[in-house]
Protein backbone atom coordinates (compact mmCIF):
# COMPACT_ATOMS: atom_id res chain seq x y z
CA UNK A 1 0.00 0.00 0.00
CA UNK A 2 1.32 3.45 -0.97
CA UNK A 3 0.64 5.92 1.84
CA UNK A 4 0.91 9.68 1.33
CA UNK A 5 1.66 11.85 4.38
CA UNK A 6 0.99 15.56 3.82
CA UNK A 7 2.33 18.24 6.15
CA UNK A 8 5.27 16.00 6.98
CA UNK A 9 7.43 18.83 8.36
CA UNK A 10 4.85 19.81 10.98
CA UNK A 11 4.67 18.41 14.50
CA UNK A 12 2.50 15.40 13.72
CA UNK A 13 4.01 14.68 10.31
CA UNK A 14 7.50 14.81 11.79
CA UNK A 15 6.51 12.35 14.51
CA UNK A 16 5.09 9.96 11.91
CA UNK A 17 8.36 10.24 9.95
CA UNK A 18 10.35 9.35 13.06
CA UNK A 19 8.16 6.33 13.88
CA UNK A 20 6.94 4.82 10.62
CA UNK A 21 9.90 2.50 10.00
CA UNK A 22 8.90 0.46 13.07
CA UNK A 23 5.49 -0.31 11.56
CA UNK A 24 5.96 0.19 7.82
CA UNK A 25 6.07 -3.49 6.97
CA UNK A 26 4.88 -3.94 3.39
CA UNK A 27 3.65 -0.36 3.18
CA UNK A 28 5.46 2.39 1.29
CA UNK A 29 5.31 5.85 2.85
CA UNK A 30 5.64 9.03 0.79
CA UNK A 31 6.28 12.20 2.82
CA UNK A 32 5.45 15.60 1.36
CA UNK A 33 5.05 19.18 2.43
CA UNK A 34 4.30 22.42 0.61
CA UNK A 35 7.71 22.34 -1.12
CA UNK A 36 7.06 18.95 -2.75
CA UNK A 37 3.26 18.87 -3.12
CA UNK A 38 0.94 21.87 -3.28
CA UNK A 39 -2.31 20.39 -2.01
CA UNK A 40 -4.07 23.67 -2.80
CA UNK A 41 -3.68 22.92 -6.52
CA UNK A 42 -6.27 20.37 -7.64
CA UNK A 43 -4.45 19.32 -10.83
CA UNK A 44 -1.13 18.89 -9.06
CA UNK A 45 -2.76 16.70 -6.41
CA UNK A 46 -4.54 14.52 -8.97
CA UNK A 47 -1.36 14.07 -11.00
CA UNK A 48 0.59 13.15 -7.85
CA UNK A 49 -1.96 10.49 -6.90
CA UNK A 50 -1.79 9.01 -10.39
CA UNK A 51 2.02 9.05 -10.60
CA UNK A 52 2.53 7.45 -7.18
CA UNK A 53 -0.54 5.18 -7.16
CA UNK A 54 -1.67 6.45 -3.75
CA UNK A 55 -3.86 4.07 -1.74
CA UNK A 56 -4.18 6.12 1.46
CA UNK A 57 -3.48 9.73 2.41
CA UNK A 58 -2.91 10.90 5.97
CA UNK A 59 -3.57 14.64 5.84
CA UNK A 60 -1.51 16.33 8.57
CA UNK A 61 -1.30 19.61 6.64
CA UNK A 62 -3.11 22.52 8.27
CA UNK A 63 -3.08 26.25 8.83
CA UNK A 64 -2.68 26.35 12.62
CA UNK A 65 -1.81 29.99 13.37
CA UNK A 66 -5.09 30.47 15.21
CA UNK A 67 -4.85 34.21 15.87
CA UNK A 68 -3.29 35.10 12.51
CA UNK A 69 -6.12 33.24 10.78
CA UNK A 70 -8.57 35.92 11.92
CA UNK A 71 -6.97 38.34 9.43
CA UNK A 72 -5.68 35.76 6.94
CA UNK A 73 -8.99 34.06 6.26
CA UNK A 74 -8.50 33.22 2.59
CA UNK A 75 -5.21 31.37 3.08
CA UNK A 76 -6.54 29.58 6.16
CA UNK A 77 -9.63 28.40 4.25
CA UNK A 78 -7.53 27.38 1.25
CA UNK A 79 -5.35 25.07 3.38
CA UNK A 80 -7.92 23.81 5.90
CA UNK A 81 -10.91 23.41 3.62
CA UNK A 82 -10.30 23.73 -0.13
CA UNK A 83 -7.20 21.53 -0.08
CA UNK A 84 -9.23 18.81 1.67
CA UNK A 85 -11.64 18.88 -1.28
CA UNK A 86 -8.68 18.49 -3.66
CA UNK A 87 -7.40 15.47 -1.72
CA UNK A 88 -10.89 14.00 -1.57
CA UNK A 89 -11.44 14.44 -5.32
CA UNK A 90 -8.12 12.77 -6.12
CA UNK A 91 -8.80 9.97 -3.64
CA UNK A 92 -12.20 9.32 -5.22
CA UNK A 93 -10.71 9.29 -8.69
CA UNK A 94 -7.93 6.88 -7.78
CA UNK A 95 -9.70 4.69 -5.21
CA UNK A 96 -7.74 5.90 -2.20
CA UNK A 97 -8.85 6.41 1.39
CA UNK A 98 -8.24 9.38 3.69
CA UNK A 99 -7.27 9.93 7.32
CA UNK A 100 -7.74 13.61 8.08
CA UNK A 101 -6.63 15.41 11.24
CA UNK A 102 -9.03 17.95 12.77
CA UNK A 103 -9.34 19.86 16.01
CA UNK A 104 -11.24 20.46 19.24
CA UNK A 105 -11.74 24.05 18.03
CA UNK A 106 -14.78 22.89 16.01
CA UNK A 107 -16.65 23.00 19.36
CA UNK A 108 -17.81 26.17 21.12
CA UNK A 109 -16.51 25.08 24.52
CA UNK A 110 -19.80 25.41 26.42
CA UNK A 111 -20.08 21.71 27.35
CA UNK A 112 -19.68 20.35 30.87
CA UNK A 113 -18.71 16.79 29.97
CA UNK A 114 -16.25 15.42 27.38
CA UNK A 115 -17.38 15.89 23.80
CA UNK A 116 -18.37 12.78 21.85
CA UNK A 117 -18.06 12.58 18.09
CA UNK A 118 -21.78 13.14 17.49
CA UNK A 119 -22.03 16.35 19.54
CA UNK A 120 -23.04 19.48 17.67
CA UNK A 121 -20.11 21.54 16.41
CA UNK A 122 -20.14 25.34 16.65
CA UNK A 123 -16.69 26.80 15.91
CA UNK A 124 -15.96 30.26 17.33
CA UNK A 125 -12.92 31.20 15.23
CA UNK A 126 -11.79 31.30 11.60
CA UNK A 127 -9.43 28.42 12.30
CA UNK A 128 -12.19 26.33 13.86
CA UNK A 129 -14.65 27.22 11.10
CA UNK A 130 -12.29 26.27 8.29
CA UNK A 131 -11.41 22.98 9.99
CA UNK A 132 -15.15 22.27 10.33
CA UNK A 133 -15.55 22.99 6.61
CA UNK A 134 -12.78 20.49 5.87
CA UNK A 135 -14.58 17.87 7.95
CA UNK A 136 -17.84 18.54 6.09
CA UNK A 137 -16.18 18.00 2.71
CA UNK A 138 -15.35 14.43 3.72
CA UNK A 139 -18.49 13.64 5.70
CA UNK A 140 -20.78 14.89 2.94
CA UNK A 141 -18.96 13.34 0.00
CA UNK A 142 -16.65 10.51 1.08
CA UNK A 143 -17.72 9.40 4.55
CA UNK A 144 -17.25 5.63 4.20
CA UNK A 145 -13.67 6.01 2.98
CA UNK A 146 -12.60 8.81 5.34
CA UNK A 147 -11.48 8.83 8.96
CA UNK A 148 -11.47 12.18 10.73
CA UNK A 149 -9.45 12.37 13.95
CA UNK A 150 -10.04 15.41 16.15
CA UNK A 151 -7.25 16.19 18.58
CA UNK A 152 -6.35 18.95 21.04
CA UNK A 153 -3.47 20.97 22.49
CA UNK A 154 -0.85 19.27 20.33
CA UNK A 155 2.83 19.52 21.27
CA UNK A 156 6.01 17.72 20.26
CA UNK A 157 9.79 17.72 20.30
CA UNK A 158 9.40 19.11 16.77
CA UNK A 159 8.27 22.59 15.76
CA UNK A 160 6.90 25.40 17.89
CA UNK A 161 4.37 24.69 20.62
CA UNK A 162 3.24 25.60 24.13
CA UNK A 163 5.69 23.27 25.87
CA UNK A 164 8.71 24.69 24.08
CA UNK A 165 7.49 28.25 24.63
CA UNK A 166 7.06 27.65 28.37
CA UNK A 167 10.49 26.02 28.65
CA UNK A 168 12.05 29.07 26.97
CA UNK A 169 10.10 31.68 28.92
CA UNK A 170 10.61 29.82 32.19
CA UNK A 171 14.36 30.25 31.82
CA UNK A 172 14.06 33.91 30.86
CA UNK A 173 11.55 35.12 33.47
CA UNK A 174 10.85 34.71 37.15
CA UNK A 175 7.07 34.87 36.78
CA UNK A 176 4.45 34.18 34.10
CA UNK A 177 0.68 34.60 33.90
CA UNK A 178 -1.32 31.81 32.21
CA UNK A 179 -5.07 31.43 31.72
CA UNK A 180 -6.85 28.99 34.03
CA UNK A 181 -10.38 29.12 32.61
CA UNK A 182 -9.64 27.16 29.40
CA UNK A 183 -9.71 23.43 30.08
CA UNK A 184 -8.71 20.57 27.80
CA UNK A 185 -6.26 17.71 27.33
CA UNK A 186 -2.66 18.17 26.12
CA UNK A 187 -1.68 15.72 23.39
CA UNK A 188 1.81 14.46 22.66
CA UNK A 189 2.05 14.33 18.86
CA UNK A 190 4.15 11.16 19.12
CA UNK A 191 1.27 9.36 20.86
CA UNK A 192 -1.16 10.49 18.16
CA UNK A 193 1.32 9.40 15.48
CA UNK A 194 1.47 5.94 17.09
CA UNK A 195 -2.33 5.76 17.04
CA UNK A 196 -2.51 6.78 13.38
CA UNK A 197 0.12 4.21 12.39
CA UNK A 198 -1.79 1.55 14.30
CA UNK A 199 -4.90 2.36 12.26
CA UNK A 200 -2.94 2.50 9.00
CA UNK A 201 -1.33 -0.88 9.61
CA UNK A 202 -4.45 -2.60 10.94
CA UNK A 203 -6.80 -4.68 8.84
CA UNK A 204 -9.70 -2.36 9.65
CA UNK A 205 -10.84 0.90 8.11
CA UNK A 206 -14.08 2.15 9.59
CA UNK A 207 -14.93 5.58 8.27
CA UNK A 208 -16.23 8.31 10.55
CA UNK A 209 -15.18 10.82 13.18
CA UNK A 210 -12.92 9.85 16.09
CA UNK A 211 -11.45 11.74 19.03
CA UNK A 212 -7.88 11.42 20.28
CA UNK A 213 -6.04 13.31 23.01
CA UNK A 214 -3.98 12.15 25.93
CA UNK A 215 -5.91 10.98 28.99
CA UNK A 216 -6.66 13.43 31.78
CA UNK A 217 -7.77 17.04 31.99
CA UNK A 218 -6.07 20.32 32.91
CA UNK A 219 -6.12 24.05 32.30
CA UNK A 220 -3.36 25.92 30.48
CA UNK A 221 -2.29 27.13 33.93
CA UNK A 222 -2.02 23.54 35.21
CA UNK A 223 -0.18 22.58 32.03
CA UNK A 224 2.40 25.33 32.52
CA UNK A 225 2.86 24.40 36.19
CA UNK A 226 3.48 20.77 35.22
CA UNK A 227 6.02 21.77 32.55
CA UNK A 228 8.08 23.75 35.06
CA UNK A 229 7.78 21.05 37.70
CA UNK A 230 8.91 18.24 35.40
CA UNK A 231 11.67 20.36 33.84
CA UNK A 232 12.86 21.56 37.29
CA UNK A 233 12.51 25.21 36.33
CA UNK A 234 11.95 27.75 39.07
CA UNK A 235 9.33 30.06 37.60
CA UNK A 236 6.22 31.28 39.38
CA UNK A 237 2.96 30.87 37.44
CA UNK A 238 -0.01 33.10 38.21
CA UNK A 239 -3.53 32.11 37.07
CA UNK A 240 -5.49 34.69 35.06
CA UNK A 241 -8.83 34.73 33.25
CA UNK A 242 -9.05 34.73 29.47
CA UNK A 243 -10.45 38.27 29.63
CA UNK A 244 -7.11 39.39 31.09
CA UNK A 245 -5.26 37.96 28.09
CA UNK A 246 -7.34 38.96 25.04
CA UNK A 247 -6.51 37.31 21.71
CA UNK A 248 -7.84 37.91 18.17
CA UNK A 249 -9.35 34.41 18.05
CA UNK A 250 -11.83 33.09 20.59
CA UNK A 251 -10.81 29.81 22.23
CA UNK A 252 -13.22 27.20 23.62
CA UNK A 253 -13.30 27.33 27.44
CA UNK A 254 -13.90 23.58 27.61
CA UNK A 255 -12.74 21.18 24.92
CA UNK A 256 -12.17 17.83 26.61
CA UNK A 257 -12.66 14.98 24.14
CA UNK A 258 -14.24 11.59 24.86
CA UNK A 259 -11.95 8.90 23.36
CA UNK A 260 -14.09 5.82 23.98
CA UNK A 261 -14.83 5.26 20.29
CA UNK A 262 -11.25 5.11 19.01
CA UNK A 263 -10.24 2.89 21.94
CA UNK A 264 -13.12 0.52 21.30
CA UNK A 265 -12.89 0.30 17.50
CA UNK A 266 -9.09 0.14 17.19
CA UNK A 267 -8.02 -1.10 20.64
CA UNK A 268 -5.72 1.87 21.11
CA UNK A 269 -4.10 2.53 24.49
CA UNK A 270 -3.88 6.24 25.32
CA UNK A 271 -1.23 7.48 27.80
CA UNK A 272 -1.88 9.95 30.64
CA UNK A 273 -0.91 13.48 29.68
CA UNK A 274 1.66 14.02 32.47
CA UNK A 275 3.46 10.76 31.62
CA UNK A 276 3.75 11.79 27.97
CA UNK A 277 4.80 15.30 28.94
CA UNK A 278 7.62 13.87 31.06
CA UNK A 279 8.91 11.87 28.09
CA UNK A 280 8.87 14.88 25.77
CA UNK A 281 10.59 17.17 28.28
CA UNK A 282 13.28 14.55 28.89
CA UNK A 283 13.80 14.19 25.14
CA UNK A 284 14.05 17.97 24.66
CA UNK A 285 16.57 18.28 27.48
CA UNK A 286 18.65 15.37 26.12
CA UNK A 287 18.83 17.04 22.72
274 close to 206: Cβ distance less than 8 angstroms: no
Task: Please tell me the distance from the alpha carbon of residue 186 to that of residue 272, in angstroms, as a whole number.
Answer: 9
- CB neighbours of residue 246 within 10 Å: 7
List the end-to-end C-alpha distance of the chain, in Å, as a whole number: 34
Q: What DSSP line would sit under 167-227, residue for residue?
A: HHHHHH-SEEEEESS-EE--EEHHHHHHHHHHHHTSS----EEEE---BS-EEHHHHHHHH
**Annotated catalytic residue: which of 20, 63, 105, 127?**
127
Positive/negative CA dihedral, 21, 22, 25, 29:
negative
Q: How far is CA 71 from CA 74, 126, 127, 156, 242, in A?
A: 9, 9, 11, 27, 20
Q: Is 210 a residue of the active site?
A: no
Q: How far is CA 148 from CA 37, 138, 151, 159, in A?
A: 21, 8, 10, 23
Alpha helices in the chain (DSSP H): 11-19, 42-52, 73-77, 83-94, 126-141, 162-172, 189-200, 220-231, 260-266, 273-286
- CB neighbours of residue 285 within 10 Å: 11
The phi-psi region of residue 109 (left if phi > 0; otherwise alpha if psi is between -120 and 50; otherwise beta) is left
- Residues with a known catalytic role: 127
Amino acid sequence: MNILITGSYGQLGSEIRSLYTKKAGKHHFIFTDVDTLDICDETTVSDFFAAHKIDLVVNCAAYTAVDKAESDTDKCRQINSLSVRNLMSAAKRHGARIIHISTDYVFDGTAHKPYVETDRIAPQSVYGSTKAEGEAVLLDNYADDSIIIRTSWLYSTFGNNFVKTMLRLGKERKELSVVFDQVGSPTNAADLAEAILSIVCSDRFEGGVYHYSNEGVCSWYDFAKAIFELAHIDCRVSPIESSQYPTPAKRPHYSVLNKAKIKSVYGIHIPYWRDSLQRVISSIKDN
